[in-house]
């Protein structure tokens, strides 16, 4: 059963059927390895575990998640908050950030992991378990666009993103900083995956806060550490990274 699962997954992820193009090379390499290996270490058919899409001239990565994690880490390195609270962002990113700053991680689907300096809490971005104005350093990266679409088991709510924004602003302390990223460009709802916001639209949604900085990953995957909000308006699926401060 495990062998069958490995072969099925080889043709499903990351893109369906693309592994078929690499199958001849796989078997050629398999036979060559058997020919060169000592008898005791020759793999059998039962040992096959095909990874068919990793032959690439450069290491692949997701520009949105790669750059937004680096962006947040560098900001926190400068501000050095006594405590940082994150709402629903990348768990891989949080595992590293918590080595530098004590971190509370809140997710609708609780993270059952244990690390020093990392406290994982179950909760909804629509009803955060914090008092008004209690958090000085807050992040929510690539999360807002999902709220209310049901993708992660949350209730359907066309106004979910706006409600989440109100809640983030509620818990942010006066003088506190919110680090936010979302898809930006031409407005679109890609149900039930995500929304794409107009960059100016997000400024309106978070109108009670002041924009302190804006960074951008464009449609080509190029990171702009400093950008104008207007430069993202004609993108299809950029990643806008906002630093907001509460007056």
What does the pLDDT profile of the chain (247 residues) look like in tens digits?
788 888 878 777 777 788 888 899 999 999 999 999 999 999 999 999 998 888 889 999 999 999 999 999 999 999 999 999 999 999 999 999 999 999 999 999 999 999 999 999 999 999 999 999 999 999 999 999 999 999 999 999 999 999 999 999 999 999 999 999 999 999 999 999 999 999 999 999 999 999 999 999 999 999 999 999 999 999 999 999 999 999 9
Is 54 part of any domain? Answer: no
For residue 24, the enclosing domain spans 2-47
Q: Are residues 116 and 213 in the same domain?
A: yes
Q: Are residues 144 and 97 in the same domain?
A: yes
Please give the tally of structural domains in the chain.
2
The rounded distance, in Å, linking the Cα atoms of 196 and 146 is: 10
**Cα–Cα–Cα angle for 158, 164, 167, rounded to 5 degrees:** 145
- Give which of 244, 246, 185, 190 is closest to 216, Cα–Cα: 185
Q: Are residues 79 and 111 in the same domain?
A: yes
Q: Are residues 75 and 190 in the same domain?
A: yes
Q: Is the pTM value of this prediction over 0.85? A: yes
Residue 204, class by beta-carbon neighbours within 10 Å (0-12 exposed, 13-18 middle, 19+ buried)? exposed
Q: Are residues 142 and 211 in the same domain?
A: yes
Is 175 part of any domain? Answer: yes
Q: Are residues 145 and 215 in the same domain?
A: yes
Contacts of residue 37, Cβ cutoff 8 Å, sequence gap at least 6: 43
* CB contact at 8 A, 213 and 202: no
Is 155 part of any domain? Answer: yes
Is 58 part of any domain? Answer: no
Q: Are residues 82 and 188 in the same domain?
A: yes
On the question of a cis peptide bond just before residue 138, with omega within 30 degrees of 0, the verdict is no
Q: Are residues 129 and 176 in the same domain?
A: yes
CA separation (Å) from 34 to 7, 19, 28, 55? 19, 22, 10, 20
Q: Are residues 156 and 226 in the same domain?
A: yes
Q: Are residues 83 and 183 in the same domain?
A: yes
């Amino acid at each position: 059963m495990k062998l069958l699962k490995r072969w099925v997954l080889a043709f499903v992820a990351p893109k369906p059927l693309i592994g078929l193009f690499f199958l001849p090379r796989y078997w050629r390499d398999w036979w060559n390895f058997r020919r060169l290996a000592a008898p005791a270490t020759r793999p059998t058919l039962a040992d096959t575990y095909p990874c068919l899409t990793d032959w690439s001239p450069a290491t692949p990565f997701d520009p949105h998640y790669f750059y937004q994690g680096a962006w947040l880490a560098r900001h926190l390195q400068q501000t050095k908050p006594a405590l940082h609270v994150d709402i629903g962002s990348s768990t891989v990113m949080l595992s590293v950030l918590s080595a530098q700053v004590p971190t509370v991680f809140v997710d609708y689907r609780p993270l059952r992991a244990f690390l020093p300096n990392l406290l994982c809490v179950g909760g909804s971005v629509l009803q955060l378990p914090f008092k008004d104005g209690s958090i000085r350093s807050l992040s929510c990266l690539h999360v807002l666009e999902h709220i209310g679409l049901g993708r992660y088991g949350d209730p359907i709510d066309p106004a979910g993103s706006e409600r989440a924004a109100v809640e983030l602003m509620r818990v942010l302390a006066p003088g506190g900083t919110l680090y936010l990223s979302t898809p930006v460009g031409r407005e679109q709802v890609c149900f039930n995956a995500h929304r794409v916001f107009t960059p100016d639209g997000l400024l309106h949604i978070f109108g009670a806060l002041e924009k302190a900085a804006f960074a951008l990953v464009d449609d080509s995957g190029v990171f702009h550490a400093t950008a104008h909000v207007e430069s993202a308006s004609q993108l299809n699926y950029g990643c806008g990274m906002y630093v907001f401060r509460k007056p």
